[in-house]
Amino acid sequence: MAYPFQLGLQDASSPIMEELMNFHDHTLMIVFLISTLVLYIISAMLTTKLTHTSTMDAQEVETIWTILPAIILVLIALPSLRILYMMDEINNPSLTVKTMGHQWYWSYEYTDYEDLTFDSYMIPTTDLPSGGLRLLEVDNRVVLPMELPIRMLISSEDVLHSWAMPSLGIKTDAIPGRLNQATLTSTRPGLFYGQCSEICGSNHSFMPIVLEVVPLKHFENWSLSMV
């Protein structure tokens, strides 16, 4: 999860988020190089009185500053498209969880089990246990197995919501009457925190999401105790 005064992205906990962080660094380096070049040219123009009249109308210069930006855009677009297709791929998910957004809580249904559904409400500040995180803890966590492909079916029963989990690289809109899907695979166990990322009313800030990712054996024990 995020920590106070954090400037960068959260630590990646899924292959998709690792790819997104690599793409972020790749694009940021291109922006840094372009900014450095532009700053150098501006500084040179302001500090020197020399003017190369032969290059003011040069066809070669116009060709370079037309082709070079096109090449840079291709270098940004190709990795971006690759990640977009990776995020849309869902190959033989081991588990399917349906998520419904409400004003202002989430409900979850494990569709591979006969009767495993529950609602997830934020724990009020007055009822927080010792060490609990304000505005992030919930009464029922979503328990998922680690290192397995999981399909999330996301929708809403009232207004627009958005199911977002930054450390896993997921942000999918919950739209009434429409079923969106996303895939996630956590590479390590732990607690992962997210929130609704679409303004959905007066209590929009009070719709946290908590995933508890555990080894498969512990998930099986939990699911048997819940059914």
For residue 208, count CB atoms less than 10 angstroms from its CB and return exposed for 0-12, middle for 13-18, buried for 19 or more: buried
Confidence (pLDDT) at 190: 92
Rounded mean pLDDT, 90-107: 91
60-74 per-position pLDDT tens digit:
778 888 899 999 999
Residue 64: the pLDDT is: 85
Residue 66 sits in the same domain as residue 123: no
Residue 2 domain-assigned (yes or no): no
The rounded percent of the chain whose pLDDT value lies above 90 is: 65
Q: How many domains does the chain have?
A: 2
Instruction: Measure the CA–CA gap between 183 and 31, rounded to whole angstroms.
Output: 30
Q: What is the pLDDT of residues 8-65, one digit of tens each?
A: 888 899 999 999 999 999 999 999 999 999 999 889 888 887 766 666 667 777 888 8
Kind plus residue range of the DSSP H or E element containing 18: helix 15-47
pLDDT at 73: 94
**CATH, residue 62:** 1.10.287.90
Query: For position 130, what pLDDT does the model report?
Result: 86
Residues 176 and 154 in one domain: yes
- 68 phi and psi, to 5 degrees? -60, -45
Whether residue 115 sits in one domain with residue 64? no
What's the mean pLDDT when you consider all of the chain? 90
Helix axes 15-47, 59-88, angle to 10 degrees: 160
What CATH number corresponds to the domain at position 141?
2.60.40.420
- The domain in which residue 33 lies consists of 15-88
pLDDT in the model for residue 53? 63
- Give per-residue pLDDT as tens, 142-174: 999 999 999 999 999 999 999 999 999 999 999
Name the 3-class secondary structure at 107. Answer: strand
| One domain for residues 142 and 81 | no
